[in-house]
Structure 1
């Protein structure tokens, strides 16, 4: 209630207000040293008293050690809220967590495919369903705030956070991001099955110039607005509760110190009224990393004046102490503090924390249920992309002898990626039972008669183990399943200097290809590691971008034909290290000069994905050849399943602008619809286009649609139309 918030603000001291703006990691209040806590995690009473009672800290985040059970989480939160109850105003603590692919820090929860894998489904309804389950299971643990979804565009293939995104296209990211936000929040975030979302990282993440995490981006304003802003704008217009700031810098200005982005754009232009939280330690980094602030105190001033409300400090009280000094000396007015504190208290009120911080456990009977796991399995199946299938090597037969090889074959790290039970996801093989959550090897072996599946890893992810043994094993089998890719990692620990798969994995691929046995390449990875040195020799290739705990089963379903793959790439899969050109590139990036050759030549294009059946497109048509500012252009096409198996097809609409005042991309995705067709079945799919759907941002930062000619393309068919204002 507004009266409660105003009453609190009137009675709170300056120290108490600043405490509300302070967010600490659980490491700061637990037994042990930060990053080296005792396991199992225990709260330190003296640290807790100092943080919550003395400093009035308003928010705690993170897991500390490894995923806790629902009961343990509730115990931790009860102790924290009990400490909050000892303060003058008994303001509840707001707890936040990264439930980025399910409640991945809650033991026994349902873990889903990562965002890039979900993007490969091209299915907003599925994304919404999983977000609802993630909210349910996170709230079952008592946690009401989720640092998700990631709405960055994944524009650099080497970026180690690419797998956290919905891919490279602004329309796809916007559709799936909105579906995820709605799944988390619903209509009322105080509902026991909903929580506050936190779209991140505002703004311009996903396109660092070097591809290394937390390194500079150089993005013209027109591109920032046309490509990087729309997904956030849609989530904000739909009522997103909070926003997390991009850790990087754009055009030389760290976003945490950029008032034009955090206030002028976010608040005044987009009308965002919720809470803005920093990312990990990013105010201090204005001084220590970005070096635009001569001291930590100056960094705090810059960030608060730019527009942050809450500082993820996260390990000490330096933010509180510096901000207190800044207000007491008159540098920052207390009225500015009140603005942020009001937002923080309002979020706590909207979540219902003042009245009931945690709902009874019996209200969550479906936590970790078979139904939730089945939803994860279905999503994992949908996410797998069949990139190549020559000579019908796939599906595999159960009367064949199979060699399973490669470093990704028998680890859950390559199925889940980071943010899985621990930050780097590096303990999952020890924490989970590989029979209950099978690896690819176990899932394949479970489908086959005993003695028909051989296993020879050959290499680990970086080093050779015993390639000759794998070659000898290949002589005994009919087909090889080679599982290459990456283990789990996240953020800067995943930065790389070479987008090619490591040399050891190349050596294994060459050796097994030289056996002459049919080979199926399974890529389990968080980004498109390059395979061009041997891909042409491989008859069948599957890509799975961290499909989650049920990924092993899902992959086996696809390999043996129990599920017909229908996933589509949400990114462009490059062929060469310097061929990092997205699908919506400019014409000059794909046109040869004086017979110099075409530079745009990816391994696989954005939107590509095969099936065990075939689809044909017919009769692409328009309801009118002339689009105006006042009518709809309806583009329709017939899609037919021309094979002998039922399957899913994602119908993708692309539009090309022939000429524009700013150089247009060669094509842009303007719509997509997923259909399921039985063998021989035919359906008509329609897309409605308005003038604003063809708009771009001009050199003045304004959205405009220019009169001219366009081409619409679906499934290899094209048709021209005109737009007149």
Structure 2
């Protein structure tokens, strides 16, 4: 197809209002055509130099220390090992920190400066190294950096502009650390609360994840990714990583292609269309095939169908896993062959250089075509050029805005807007002068406020770096007055071989303190974790925490339950015993401060749940479920406890003021396939204080050829209203936004009746015709 024809189709898509979060037309070929300067450099490279560019090792490999897994302290490079990696094995990328520990800016400048000195000045072709890091809620391995809420908390803000600003600051402080490549954002959907990385997602909804993912990419990369304050974004983990059958990390996913394309692909496509520079691959298996070995997903779908022209990088040691764990390759060498031929461009090895030796041999043996190597290296070199590394491999400028007042204000704002008030029986906000008992294992810890990937992989080193910030206890003391606040933990976290366990103290001290207090602030949830160490067998809160809550309930004192957790732990057995429930998620270093402001009314909560909060372990359903999940609503059908029972619904969140919705209006009651429908509603703050409200638009298809979801989010807008103020919010809906993936795997819009819902208001319209688009081949 000619470029002109593709261009015309692109124009038509824009004119007809195809949302960027919806899959569109299949794009260009997966084989990269090098730009002239990349082509010229590629022509000079030996096979060994090309393969080296595809290799990525961890920092511990090139430092002084006893082995490749640990480094001496104070940290210092071993220049001989740096030369071995870069000059002998031609390695083109290094990642991670050393000893699983954050470093100050000066140390990052020293270490990466020395690495680039060898790469640029001593190697034959002077190709700079590209350094990558997991800076997922700020520059998380830089000790002085500004930390924002984790992604699940950012999703709870429902504030696009704020999310983009947080990402831009994270990019600035990461690039200030001499690191140009960020392994973020996570675009997996958080649809299963058992999954230990749910908090790294933007929640369960396709549209919310797509919108927020695009904002993160734009914030990280800016208008010009080579600019001093920008970094390359990495979309992870392609594809379907977050819904394993067991709920445990890196375990098999069983999924239909309809589900894969309809739920899990759109956020990645939206971010690819937004210009994301790299993609990291799912560490698990889909329908028995490891994704790192799946050419249909990595080449046919990602590179060919989505037209992705960036770098495809493995996750940690995942080529080896094809041999050692998944047993689809008889040897490590065969694993390299399978992964590279499937479409992997760069291998996160991360500890040795066997990948380089094996891949060189595979090319010479004819097992991996040279065209595959050239395509991978073209992508890698293009990324390095795009980042400006050939011109300036180390930081430019003084980065005087690092940790500035504006930066801190943004982090505070994000923490405040993420906090979600789930229940309030008139207890909150607390009055000044009340005597407060603060208790629970999450009351006096910065580690739990930040979560994993904070100064260290599991967040276990947070307390070493975050002493200047306020825990929940310290923040409440600052708000209420130290003399009015008593602290008895009741339950504490202790270090163990599993990173953390709990220890329960005698509850008598807690109950005595409660008897002398007016209100109890009970801080429960989880300690920090991520990946495999976060796997669990029981989604309920721990028995220690449940017993503490029940003991406090016997005192008759009003209880505020503060949840500080990465996923929704079940609280149904204790929720009736508390008067208010506040969800903080993982709000970062300013979370304690923001929570205290909410508790005492200095800040009006505006967060909304980005997931469905489950009530029972066997009712882990999402809001966009099928009608068969609600059979209790159907006449003549027995219930048998199969009803859709949740603790709190998706999108739920209370305020200290009240909002009234009226005048839901549709521009027409008929919609043609080439038209847009304008939906408007008027929202009024009918309370006595200013507040922020998230206006959420849902649309339901009455009948479809595949059982339709009961509703789907199709628009949202966060607005601010003074007392008595009204605003009219408008949404434009194109027919394509009503689409679903049909049995033929094509996006399909079917004529019929659709229902619009905003708050408790509903209206219907008719779609006049049906149509399909996007010819695809199955990939599963």
TM-score for the superposition, normalised by structure 2: 0.91
Distance (whole Å) between structure 2 residues aligned to residue 539 and residue 308 of structure 1: 52
RMSD between superposed Cα atoms in Å:
1.1
Q: Of the candidates 454, 463, 466, which is equivalent to residue 432 of structure 1? A: 466
Q: Of the candidates 157, 166, 182, which is equivalent to residue 130 of structure 1? A: 166
Distance (whole Å) between structure 2 residues aligned to residue 34 and residue 558 of structure 1: 47
Deviation at 1:35, TM superposition (A): 4.3
Alignment match, 2:300:
264
Alignment match, 1:276:
312
Alignment match, 1:686:
730
Alignment match, 2:5:
none
Distance (whole Å) between structure 2 residues aligned to residue 318 and residue 220 of structure 1: 36
- Is 1:76 aligned to residue 111 of structure 2? yes
Matches within 5 A, 1:286-435: 286-362=322-398, 364-390=399-425, 392-433=426-467
Distance (whole Å) between structure 2 residues aligned to residue 78 and residue 639 of structure 1: 55
Distance (whole Å) between structure 2 residues aligned to residue 221 and residue 450 of structure 1: 57
Q: Of the candidates 285, 304, 312, which is equivalent to residue 321 of structure 2? A: 285
Contact 2:466 2:589 in 1 (8 A): no
Matches within 5 A, 1:595-634: 595-634=639-678
Deviation at 1:630, TM superposition (A): 2.0
- Determine helix, strand or coil for the equivalent of 1:521: strand
Alignment match, 1:104:
140
Alignment match, 2:27:
none
Alignment match, 1:721:
765
**Unpaired stretches in structure 1, ≥5 consecutive residues:** none
Deviation at 1:297, TM superposition (A): 0.9
Contact 2:48 2:89 in 1 (8 A): yes
Report which stretch shifted further, 165-174 or 39-48. Answer: 39-48
Matches within 5 A, 1:167-566: 167-362=203-398, 364-390=399-425, 392-433=426-467, 436-461=468-493, 462-566=502-606
- Determine helix, strand or coil for the equivalent of 2:623: coil
- Determine helix, strand or coil for the equivalent of 1:120: helix
- Is 1:711 aligned to residue 743 of structure 2? no
Q: Of the candidates 580, 585, 588, which is equivalent to residue 620 of structure 2? A: 580
Distance (whole Å) between structure 1 residues aligned to residue 400 and residue 418 of structure 2: 28
Distance (whole Å) between structure 2 residues aligned to residue 36 and residue 531 of structure 1: 41
- Determine helix, strand or coil for the equivalent of 1:382: helix
Alignment match, 1:2:
35
Q: Of the candidates 667, 687, 690, which is equivalent to residue 643 of structure 1? A: 687
Cα 1:314–1:413 change in 2 (3 A) is: same
Deviation at 1:598, TM superposition (A): 4.3
Alignment match, 1:121:
157
**Unpaired stretches in structure 2, ≥5 consecutive residues:** 1-33, 494-501, 770-780
- Determine helix, strand or coil for the equivalent of 2:482: coil
- Determine helix, strand or coil for the equivalent of 1:413: helix
Distance (whole Å) between structure 1 residues aligned to residue 459 and residue 72 of structure 2: 18
Aligned pair count?
Answer: 721
Distance (whole Å) between structure 2 residues aligned to residue 121 and residue 300 of structure 1: 42
Cα 1:72–1:224 change in 2 (3 A) is: same
The C-alpha deviation readout for 1:264-296, integer Å capped at 9, x for no partner, is 111111111111100000011011111111111
Distance (whole Å) between structure 1 residues aligned to residue 124 and residue 481 of structure 2: 68
Deviation at 1:31, TM superposition (A): 2.2
The C-alpha deviation readout for 1:356-378, integer Å capped at 9, x for no partner, is 1123342x101011210110000
Deviation at 1:335, TM superposition (A): 2.3
Alignment match, 1:45:
79
Q: Of the candidates 64, 81, 95, which is equivalent to residue 131 of structure 2? A: 95
Alignment match, 1:15:
48
Deviation at 1:463, TM superposition (A): 2.3
Contact 2:488 2:513 in 1 (8 A): yes
Alignment match, 2:197:
161
Distance (whole Å) between structure 1 residues aligned to residue 288 and residue 396 of structure 2: 49
Deviation at 1:722, TM superposition (A): 0.9
Q: Of the candidates 40, 56, 71, which is equivalent to residue 90 of structure 2? A: 56
The C-alpha deviation readout for 1:484-527, integer Å capped at 9, x for no partner, is 00111111110110000111111111111111100000000000
Distance (whole Å) between structure 1 residues aligned to residue 149 and residue 292 of structure 2: 30
- Determine helix, strand or coil for the equivalent of 1:264: helix
Distance (whole Å) between structure 2 residues aligned to residue 360 and residue 690 of structure 1: 45
TM-score for the superposition, normalised by structure 1: 0.98
Contact 2:550 2:577 in 1 (8 A): no
Report which stretch shifted further, 627-636 or 133-142. Answer: 627-636
Deviation at 1:98, TM superposition (A): 0.7
Deviation at 1:142, TM superposition (A): 0.9
Report which stretch shifted further, 26-35 or 127-136. Answer: 26-35
Distance (whole Å) between structure 2 residues aligned to residue 34 and residue 537 of structure 1: 52
Distance (whole Å) between structure 2 residues aligned to residue 253 and residue 443 of structure 1: 49
